[in-house]
Amino acid sequence: MDRLVAAIDVGGTSIKSALVAEDLSVVHTLRTPTRRVDGSVDVAQIVELIEELRAKAGDAVVVGAGVAAPGIIDERLGLARVGVNLGWRDLPLRQLVADAAGIPVALGHDVRTGGLAEFTVGAATGVRNAMFMPIGTGIAAAVLVDGHRLDADGYAGEIGHIVVDPDGAVCGCGIRGCLETVASAAFIARNYAERSGKPVTRAADVAAAVDAGDPDALAVWERAVEGLATALTTAITLLAPEVVAIGGGLSESGDTLLVPLRRSLEGRTTFQRVPTLVRAALGDNAGCIGAGILAWQAAA
């Protein structure tokens, strides 16, 4: 009888779920608005989605589940230590879902889980040292070092909170001048709107204005690129990735981002190994594919 796993990628506004086969192909997907109870994301909804996926599996058996979530996620202990956007703190999420669903469950951080997918079947395969950095509302990184994923009890990878402008804006974390305040999609749009007076809400619009030669857009974009290069130079010096795969919404700007970022990195490095800089390959499916990998490991 065929076997499948359930993959659940939890977000603050929506949850993407999928059935994933052993070859990591995505068989069926669902996207559902995130349900909250007393301000916290309802764990029961995750279990309900697993049951809904079971109903879609036909004659196949769902033998495990993988759950990816943002925040400080302790994958080893299965704890959501801090999930500010989800309203979770010290939540034994893996055990709660496993007990309710009756199958083995793995828990992963959303970015590290997406990175696992990119390292396994995506843009950073075939190397032992790599980084996956999605740039969207926030910025984080998944890191592969000598073939091992860097976790540090859930605290690794917060590249978005490297300070790149000590006199800059206050970040959501409370620190002034974090990378997110100059290079996240949300701040790029905000910074351009403040500078130009134009009511822009999407970084994609700023990228289009860059391509059109808009001087305000060029200034904001250059600041974002320099911030990214500053943070990545630190990461390159410490971790020496062979490949850096850029994901998230900002990666859709393609060479508008990658060409100046490569140039800036090359101008900042001497002895360091300069990584190959590429767009991530799996897009919106990375989280579910990575959660599927974790689920197959749990079901083994």
Per-position DSSP letters for 11-58, written without gaps between them: -SSEEEEEEE-TT--EEEEEEEEPPEETTEE-HHHHHHHHHHHHHHST
Instruction: Check if the beta carbon of residue 34 is closer than 8 Å to that of residue 14.
Output: yes
Mean pLDDT of 112-118: 97
Question: In angstroms, rounded to a whole number, what is the distance separating the alpha carbons of residues 69 and 258?
Answer: 28
Q: Are residues 97 and 141 in the same domain?
A: no
| Residue 233 · residue 269 · CB < 8 Å | yes
Total domains present in the chain:
2
Q: Give yes or no: residues 70 and 210 share one domain.
A: no
User: Can you give the pTM of this predicted structure?
Assistant: 0.92
In a domain, 115, yes or no: no
- 88 and 136 both lie in a single domain: no
> Which pLDDT band, with edges at 50, 70 and 90, does 84 fall under?
confident
Tell me the per-residue pLDDT of 166-187, one tens digit each, with 9 for 90 and over: 999 999 889 999 999 999 999 9
Residues 101 and 196 in one domain: no
Q: Do 87 and 162 fall into the same domain?
A: no
Domain that holds residue 208: 123-281
Confidence of residue 1 (pLDDT cuts 50, 70, 90): low
Q: Is 55 a member of any domain?
A: yes
For residue 86, being part of any structural domain is answered with yes
Domain at 201, CATH number:
3.30.420.40
CB distance 223 to 231 below 8 Å: no
Residue 116 lies in a domain: no
CA-to-CA separations, 190 to 64, 167, 185, 217, in angstroms, rounded: 42, 17, 9, 11
Interval 102-112: pLDDT, tens: 999 999 999 99
